[in-house]
Chains A and B, each alone.
Chain A
C-alpha cells in the first residue's frame, strides 16, 4: 500500500525560500544518493544529505529544521562535487542554518552554533583569531571545561599558542560586523 504525503501549497515553497536565501535550486535533485555515499559524516546524520534535499523539495520544514544533518556537515564539499545535477548541497546546508538563525530556531546540535558565535565574537574583539580566548569562551559556553585539556597543554608547551591577543585589524572587523548586522536587519 502506498501512503500519500500531504503537501500544502505554502509549505512547498521552502525550496523557493532556500533558493532566495542561498542561490541554490534544490529542485534539480532526483535523489540518486551520490552525495550521501561520499559524505564522510553521513553516519552522524539523521537524514542523509539526499533525504534532506528531498525534504526541502517536499516543503517539510519542521523535518528539515529539526534535523541534525546540516549541523553535522563538515563543509568538505564532497557532496557538491559528486552531484550529477550540479546542486551545491554543501551550500544548501549553510543556507538552511542561516535561515534557521533568522527564524530564531534552535539547532539540534547546539555546540556547532556556539562555536560559530564564539568565533565571530572573537573576531569582533581581535580582528584575527585569538585561539586561547576562543577556546576559553567556547568552554564556558558549552560547559565542557576539561575536554582536550591534555592535548591543549602539550600544544601550549610546544609554544603553538599566542598568550596574548593582538589587535591588528580589530577596528576594521568590528566596523564590518556592525555594518553587516545593520544591513541584515534592514
Chain B
C-alpha cells in the first residue's frame, strides 16, 4: 500500500509524536508513505477568518503538488488539516467561480479527484483491521481507554465523510483490534476549544477539563486522540486545570498510533511517548504484559 503523506505543520513541531508514531506503525503495517514535496500550510485556524479564497487555495495547492507526483490518495493524520483539505475540495467542486479564482491564484489545476483519507479510516477497514491483531506483541487488555475524535474528523459529515458523525467507531475498532479495552462515553466528538488555544486559554482549560472529567467518570485510564490540537489541549493544559479546579487530572493522553505501536512491541522512545507533559509511560508499563 502506497499513499501520499501530508503531515501538516503541527506534526513537524508540537505534534511530532503523532508523526513519529504514525510512521512507525505504517512501517509495521506495510504502508509506504511518500511525503508531498514542498507541501505548504493548509491555512488551519487562521486563513478562514480572513479570506475564503486563501482558505481554499492553500489546501488545494497541496492536492495539486500531489498530482505532480503522480499520486491520487493522500493520508492526512491531523484532523484540522484533514478538514481543511476536504472542505477546500468540496468548495471547488460546488462553487465554479471560486474554482476559477483558485486556479488563478495557484496557476495550477485543482486536482478534484484526489482522495483525502484519514489514517483511521484505512486502519479500521479491511485488510488492515484483520491484520492488526496478528502483529500484537504486548497484552494491553488491562488498559481502559476512551476514544476522543474531536470536532473536525466527523463534522460537517457531508464534507468529511468520515465514519458516523454522531457516534464514530473507527478508533474504538482499532483499539479493540490491538487488544485494548475500549470504553464507551458521551464526549467522543465534543469540542476541546482548540481554536482559542492561543487567544483565550481559559476556554480551553474549561472545555478540556470537562472532557477529562467525563473520561474519568467512565473509568478510563487514558484518552486516545487522533488530532495534534486536541492532544496539545488535553495534555499540556493539565497544570492549568489544577490551578483552575484544584486537582491535577493526571490523565495520560496518547495518540492512537502510539497505543498501536506500543502494542506492536515498539519502545516508548520509538513512539515519543516520553515527550508528553502528562506522564503516559507509567500506566503503559504497569498494565502491559508480554505475549
Contacts and interface: CB of A to CB of B under 8 A. Distances in A.
Interface of A: 22-23, 40-41, 44, 74-78, 80-81, 88, 90, 94-95, 97-98, 101, 109, 111-120, 123, 127-129, 131, 135, 138, 142, 147-148, 150-151, 154-155, 158-162, 168-169, 172-173, 176-177, 179-180, 183-184
A173 B155 contact: no
Interface stretch (B8-16, B176-184, B262-270): B8-16
B30 to A, nearest CB: 28
B53 interface: yes
A172 B61 contact: yes
A101 B239 contact: no
A180 B53 contact: yes
Contacts of A22: 52
Contact of A116 (B47, B52, B191, B237): B47
Interface stretch (B34-42, B128-136, B246-254): B34-42
B278 to A, nearest CB: 10
B193 interface: yes
B45 A119 contact: yes
A119 B47 contact: yes
Contacts of A172: 38, 40, 61
Given A40-B190, A183-B101, A160 B16 contact: yes
Nearest to A159: B275
Which of the listed residues B52, B198, B236, B239 has the most CB atoms from chain A within 10 Å of its own CB? B198
B195 interface: yes
Contacts of A154: 236, 239, 277
A74 to B, nearest CB: 5
Contacts of B201: 147-148
Given A74-B196, A155-B236, A116 B50 contact: yes
B118 to A, nearest CB: 16
Binding site secondary structure of chain A:
helix
Contact of A176 (B57, B239, B277): B57
Nearest first, the 6 A-B pairs at minimum CB distance are A119-B46, A129-B9, A77-B155, A76-B191, A169-B40, A76-B151
Contact of B54 (A78, A147, A148, A180): A180
A147 B200 CA distance: 10
Contact of B13 (A41, A78, A88, A131): A131
B236 A173 contact: no
A184 B53 contact: yes
Contact of B50 (A23, A101, A176): A101
A155 B14 contact: yes
B73 interface: no
A179 B95 CA distance: 19
B41 A94 contact: no
Contacts of A116: 45-47, 49-50
Contacts of A109: 199
A116 B43 CA distance: 10
A160 B179 CA distance: 30
A158 B193 CA distance: 23
A147 B156 CA distance: 33
Contacts of B39: 128, 168-169
B29 interface: no
Contacts of A147: 201
A166 B200 CA distance: 28
B155 A98 contact: no
A129 B105 contact: no
Nearest to B150: A76
Contacts of A118: 46
